[in-house]
Amino acid sequence: MKDSMVNTFTARQGQFLAYIHQYSLLNGCVPAEADMQRFFQITPPSVHSMVLTLERRGLIRRVPGQARSITLAVSPESLPSLNTRSRSALETMTKTNKKSGGWSAVRQQLDHYEKSELIAQIKDLYDAAEVNRDILQIRCLAGKHDGEILKKYQGKIVEQFFPARGDGKLNLGEARKAIRDYRKITGNISGTAELLLTYVESGTRFTCEFGDINERFYDSLESALEELAKLLMGEARDLYPQFADRLARVEQMSKDIGWGFHDFIADIVWQLEAKSA
């Protein structure tokens, strides 16, 4: 009885089975229920009911709760042809998805993912890159890891000047990138100001200990200090008192450094003091 049931399906069920088969051939994976809903233009409960019916009749197998886990339990040769209109629509949708690019295309695809699929995609992104892990921690665990993330990016900056082992590589681009990444990830102005000052402090200390470097080195430190000053005279003006003493120490440290570096720092500190008076 069960065998005859396996090989028997209605015309409507056959179209769903044919769709699952054709979708798999064209996309390399089985469709989600959201894909079936969109394709057949029916409601989510109707799609789910059909999936349960196909499973109950032994026409498909699936893992409950696991997205895109459907496998056909019937031979593809026993399936009817997907009707011409439906097949054309499927191929058009597939071609459109393959040709289109950018966020809008990605967003369109995400709209059809089930929750478990989205979580799996996010997990892949989490595993793929350190910056992705930081973004997810900040966005999903707001407030719980702020200090830890700031300390981590401070470490990236200091590492370029004073690594735990060996000599500093002075990869200034990497240090500045850490500041940009932190701001992009967190949007935290206070933390960004802290990283900018850490960069200037580390560079000033380095040149005090090892002597004159080069014009590019001082230009980079001045650029970071100028960016910090804009924050402290603008959207982060209330933070200046927290940084005033450290800026004064940087000015004092730089007094014997050439290249016009000390004069630049002194001028910035004077402007900040005047603005806060």
Is the separation of the CB atoms in 204 and 246 below 8 Å?
Answer: no
Beta partners for residue 70, in sequence order? none
Of 13-22, 127-136, 190-199, minimum mean pLDDT range:
127-136
Counting Cβ atoms within 10 Å, is residue 60 exposed (0-12), middle (13-18) or buried (19+)? buried
Mean pLDDT of the chain: 86
Q: What is the pLDDT of residues 201-247, one digit of tens each?
A: 999 999 999 999 999 999 999 999 999 999 999 999 999 999 999 99
The more confident residue out of 241 and 125 is 241
pLDDT score of 6: 46
What average pLDDT score do residues 65-77 get?
A: 87
So what's the pLDDT on residue 5?
44
Q: Give helix then strand counts, H and E, for the chain.
A: 14, 2
Q: Can you name the residues that pair with 71 across neighbouring β-strands? A: 61
Which secondary-structure segment (H or E) carries 274? helix 261-276
Residue closest to 249 by CA, chosen among 229, 266, 231, 264? 266
Alpha helical stretches, state H, 63-145: 84-99, 102-110, 115-128, 130-140
SS3 of 58, please?
coil
| pLDDT at residue 85 in the model | 60
Residue 10: the pLDDT is 92
pLDDT at 142: 66
Is the pLDDT higher at 194 or at 96? 194
In the predicted structure, residue 51 carries a pLDDT above the cut 70: yes
2 has pLDDT over 50: no
Residue 98 has pLDDT above 70, yes or no: no
Given this model, what pLDDT does residue 102 score?
73
For residue 197, what are its two tokens? 């000052």
Residue 259 near residue 212 (C-beta atoms within 8 A): yes
Strand 60-61 relative to strand 71-72, pairing: antiparallel
Contact 30, 50 (CB under 8 A): no
Predicted structure pTM score: 0.59
Looking at residue 28, what is its pLDDT?
A: 83
> What confidence score (pLDDT) does residue 84 get?
60
What would the two tokens of residue 274 be? 């005047």
Q: What is the pLDDT of residue 95?
A: 53
- Is pLDDT of 37 > 90? no
**81 forms bridges with which residues in the sheet?**
none
Average pLDDT over residues 59-78: 87
138-160 tens-digit pLDDT: 778 766 667 888 999 999 999 99
CA dist 92 and 85 (Å) reads 11
Please compute the mean of the pLDDT values over residues 100-109 and round it to a whole number: 70
113 has a pLDDT exceeding 80: no
**Stronger pLDDT, 90 or 153, i.e. the higher one:** 153
